Amino acid sequence: MAPVAIYQTMSPSIIPAPVAALTLTALAIVADAEPLNLLAGRSLSRSTNWLGQPESAAQVKAGLKGMAPWYHTSSELQSEAKRLVDGCGGRALMRNHSHGGVTLETIYIAADRPDATNRVFITFGEHSRELISPETGLEHLRQLCGESATTSKVKVEDVLKDSSFTLVLNANPRSRAKVESGEYCLRTNPNGVDLNRNYNIKWEPGATIEGQSTNPGPHPFSEPETQIMKSLLETLRPTTYLTVHSGVKGMYMPWAWSTDLLENDTSQSSMMQVLRALDKDHCRCPYGAAGKEVGYAAPGTSLDFARTIEGNLFSFAFEIACSKDADADFLSRYQREESTKHRTLLQHGKSPVAASPATVRPHVASLLQAASHAFRVEHQSEEGNDCFPTYNPTSRKEYEEVTKNWAAAFLEMAHLTRNLIRKGAAAPAKL
């Protein structure tokens, strides 16, 4: 057994109990896995950028910062996070967790109560090309530490009374560095493994989607990144888990590994209640059980793994951004389907609000099932010109809108799950 090395990068006067419990013994993990040594990513070669504008040699050399300087590099993410933690009034702690040549930086924001009702854990950047994901995490940290105003209808101080937060801002750091240098289509880690298919829940060898880099690895938890994540999740036992992605728009709950199996009634109802509350203000997008709504099974995800951990009551995956054309098309079809279903319910004397989640949103599954094939075909050719705008906002204005919107959604998610936990309206998973 090879333990995770822990390095504390700041020392507040009082270390929160859940973080103090992150000892070397508690974080012992499986031994180093044999590397796959698969080809990961492609070199970038093009004469125009994702906006169709001519690129200078200097811009190509500068990579991400030369094209979209409002995005943060990995080192900038780290330094900005540390600055925010240092200025968080002693409430925050930053630690490094290292194993197998990989270091994941983890930020802990304490609740007012040492025995917080709601332990929130949010993972950003599992797929390295989804650069916008960690950016929303950084804005969330700014809001939690009081440096940035939130657009949320709930107050930060109210949420922090009884909710703690653990943030992993960069869950795929080695490949993110390559994306920053111009490999904008790189999804996997350097071993060619999709980290969000490398967890043990219904893991399948070779479980790939045509045209996607979804290699699950030689066995569950074969990668140092997922080994660290496993140890963190099993040690901290979050009541609420969220993983943040981009490429489409949607908000999902377990199970991802099955297209027809739903959670037990109590869990399904409580998680759907959270997603429904967030949808109107923050997404206006499909939501529900991941595999059922998307129309294909995704075994081995962190979404499903987190849901099986002792003490977990809520597990979500948010897809927060897509290309402008796809976003407009999504919204148009979504509005048509919503309007049609609303009229149908009224014609039958039913209230859309009072209807069950399955009744209100049957369009979600059909919408994504119809779109999923086109989505996979679209991504069979993964060229640098195409990938950045598919997964990330391309203007500073859109970037700021996305980061502000979703940081507020994360806060409201914590508020909603905390209230449901207090009411006893949540239950452990049953596979």
Tokens in use for 424?
A: 């006893």
Q: How far apart are CA 241 and CA 313, in angstroms?
A: 9
Tokens in use for 431?
A: 């596979």
Q: How far apart are CA 94 and CA 116, in angstroms?
A: 19
Tokens in use for 257?
A: 């590994």
Residue 331: alpha-carbon gap to chain centroid: 21
Counts of helices then strands in the chain (DSSP H, E): 16, 11
Phi-psi region of 337 (alpha: psi -120 to 50; beta: other; left: phi over 0): alpha
Preceding omega of 70 cis (within 30 degrees of 0): no
Q: How far apart are CA 314 and CA 429, in angstroms?
A: 9
- Cβ contact 169:137 at 8 Å: yes
* Residue 261's pLDDT band (cuts 50, 70, 90): confident
- Lowest-pLDDT choice from 28-37, 128-137, 162-171, 319-328: 28-37
Stretch 147-171: mean pLDDT, rounded?
A: 96
- Cβ contact 287:244 at 8 Å: no
Question: Cβ contacts of residue 247 below 8 Å, gap of 6+?
Answer: 130, 319, 321, 322, 390, 391
pLDDT in tens, 20-72: 555 433 344 433 333 222 223 333 334 455 445 545 444 444 689 988 999 99
Task: Say which DSSP state 242 is in.
Answer: E
β-strands 102-109, 92-99 pairing: antiparallel
Task: Please report where in the chains the tokens 């270390």 appear, as a residue.
Answer: 15
β-strands 118-124, 102-109 pairing: unpaired
- Cβ contact 74:228 at 8 Å: no
Q: pTM score, two decimals? A: 0.81
